[in-house]
Amino acid sequence: MFVYTWKFSKKKLTIAILALVVLIAAILLIFSGGGEAKAAIALSGSARTAKDRVSLIRSLGWEIEEEPIETQSVVIPTEFTGVYADYAKLQEDQGFNLAKYAGKEATRYTYKALNYPGVEDSVVIDIIVYRGKVIAGDVQSVKLDGFMQGLAFPVS
């Protein structure tokens, strides 16, 4: 007969709990399809440099031109109404919380998407960066009857 004893310090217990939480999150991501969650996780890295931003977007499966079409300073509204309320909801569905950045000045980078399925032209990808971190993003058609979606690459 064998008897095992384990002595846990608070540090070891904390690490074990964190590892369990990460494992559960990974399992949920794998079994939920995880497109939008994958986008938020992929974009949680640094976006301080142009190379970082391009790498983060490409990690989601997008092919883009390396130079942004536009770089613009934007102020996140303090109240989300109308179209911006819909935009905030889209961001929330991706795991981003724009409310945390209400009233803050951020930078929007717009890139031309080269591989949107079934569309050859007119699709752009926007990411909004605050202090080197992506806080929002979307993929949209700039045509009059266009669309807007989250950052996850569409699954056919």
Domain ranges for the chain, please list them: 35-149
Measured between alpha carbons, how far is 13 from 89 in angstroms, rounded to an integer? Answer: 36
With beta carbons less than 8 A apart as the criterion, state whether 125 and 138 touch.
Answer: yes
3-state DSSP call for residue 44?
Answer: coil
Identify the bridge partners of residue 105 per DSSP, sorted by sequence position.
75
pTM for this one?
Answer: 0.73
pLDDT at 2 over 90: no
3-state DSSP call for residue 71?
Answer: strand
The model's pLDDT over 82-121, given as tens digits with 9 standing for 90+, comes to: 999 999 999 999 999 999 999 999 999 999 999 999 887 8
